[in-house]
A and B are shown apart, each in its own frame.
Chain A
């Protein structure tokens, strides 16, 4: 059990990534203190939809990470209580025209050779999967491995599953990184002046990860990428999969700061349908954007005309932690011994949380990494030369 002020590892951030880091570290026998200035899942985790997606990722390092993580989520679904609402519902990506369908076919072929299960769905079979889908679509692809969890509960239950090896300190902001004579990490100091000691500190502060890196004198250019979600009144299962238009993939990969929207529609276990996804880089501005919501609603109704007859009850916004190359920072910081990063997962943090937690735990305890983590090296943004 960790003592009041010392443990083997300190994790900064009680979002789903921090929770997964704590969980896997605890599973490896380590004691962990999780510190967050807010509550569990109080940042981007609580503002997400809980998507565990392979369908939107092109072959490359992020897809490898997502494949490994999807496997771990399947295992966690058995180990954690049903309240996390793990639902292996599958994704359906649809194309409105032949050109879009051809592009989707090429994209899916690449994914298939990288190990993703894909299945082309001709136009006349789309309604077998989604009876309320608009008529006249050109076709689509079914991704049976796409899944969903309720992200805030998933984070909370990961922390709880760590048992008494995990100690939570909520409502405490980290204001300083404590280092030894050789510059190595010794712990953190919080706003109340409390010193917490550990030989390893994990930066799982998500969109605010750049700030924590700066406390250590390291640079990690995490930027907020704002997104809105529109929530309908509770409905029966009118949307069965996670459904989105093929344009979404291009939006995710884009570097533009301007507003982009492409409807991503899905039902939830509790009944409301969630409609995302908008992306824009406007800093930490929480102002409601009626333009973003108007576009999301129109695009969702274009996919599912039935949604035009129901009401949206509320909306929420969050800030995805965006790194310039769209890859997270995972692993040891080369400049500060004992500091590890686990942040910058953009819109994929819930999906990628377990594999991130496992990598962090292996980095601390030693052992076989689940995959090559060089593409996620936290030092990759440092000025060359």
Chain B
């Protein structure tokens, strides 16, 4: 059986819960970041760039590079690698600056 980082450190987390990415349910564990939960579900991109519309996801994973921006619960430009997942969180692909409604 594959060992996971959680097994290696002998951590006991609470029960898993669900967040959604678009219309897709994604499992998450307490304390996991949104980016980690998305990666765990095989999702690697959740933003498109402002000028070229190219896909982006987590790059540095430690809050420095601002590449992993996502719209979480309606708020754009959240760094998915830093935001802890909470039951029922709604994550959607952020297009560009994520503020199209302000134009």
Residues of A bordering B, CB below 8 Å? 132, 233-238, 271, 306, 310-311, 313
Given A271-B97, A311-B77, check contact A237 B103 (CB 8 Å): yes
For B97, list chain A residues within 8 Å (CB): 233-236, 271
Task: Note all chain A residues with C-beta closer than 8 A to B96.
Answer: 234
Q: Are A306 and B102 in contact (CB under 8 A)?
A: yes
Interface residues of B in 71-103 (CB under 8 A from A): 76-77, 96-97, 99-100, 102-103
Contact yes or no, B77 A236, CB < 8 A: no
Q: In the bound complex, how far is the Cα of B99 from the Cα of A233, in angstroms?
A: 10
Report 18 cross-chain contacts, Cβ distance below 8 Å, ordered by A residue. A233-B76, A233-B77, A233-B97, A233-B99, A234-B50, A234-B97, A234-B99, A235-B99, A235-B102, A236-B97, A236-B99, A236-B102, A237-B103, A238-B102, A271-B50, A306-B102, A310-B102, A313-B66
| Cα–Cα, bound, A28→B99 (Å) | 48
Task: List, in ascending order, chain B residues with CB within 8 A of A234's CB.
Answer: 50, 96-97, 99
**In the complex, what residue of chain A is closest to B97 when comparing beta carbons?**
A234
- Can you name the residue of chain B whose Cβ is closest to the Cβ of A306? B102
Give the distance in Å from the alpha carbon of A320 to the alpha carbon of B102 in the complex. 34
How many angstroms between the C-alpha atoms of A310 and B98 in the bound complex?
A: 11
- List the A side residues contacting B100 at CB < 8 Å: 236
C-alpha spacing A148/B50, complex, angstroms: 22
B-side contacts of A237, CB under 8 Å: 103
B-chain residues with CB within 8 Å of residue A310 when the two chains form the complex: 99, 102
Q: Please indicate which of the listed interface residues A237, A306, A310, A313 has the most CB atoms of chain B within 10 Å of its own CB.
A: A310
Q: Output the least CB separation between B22 and chain A (Å).
A: 22
Q: Write out the residue numbers on chain B whose beta carbons fall within 8 Å of the beta carbon of A235.
A: 97, 99, 102
Q: Which of B8-60 contact A (CB under 8 A)?
A: 50
| Nearest chain B residue, comparing its CB with the CB of A236 | B103
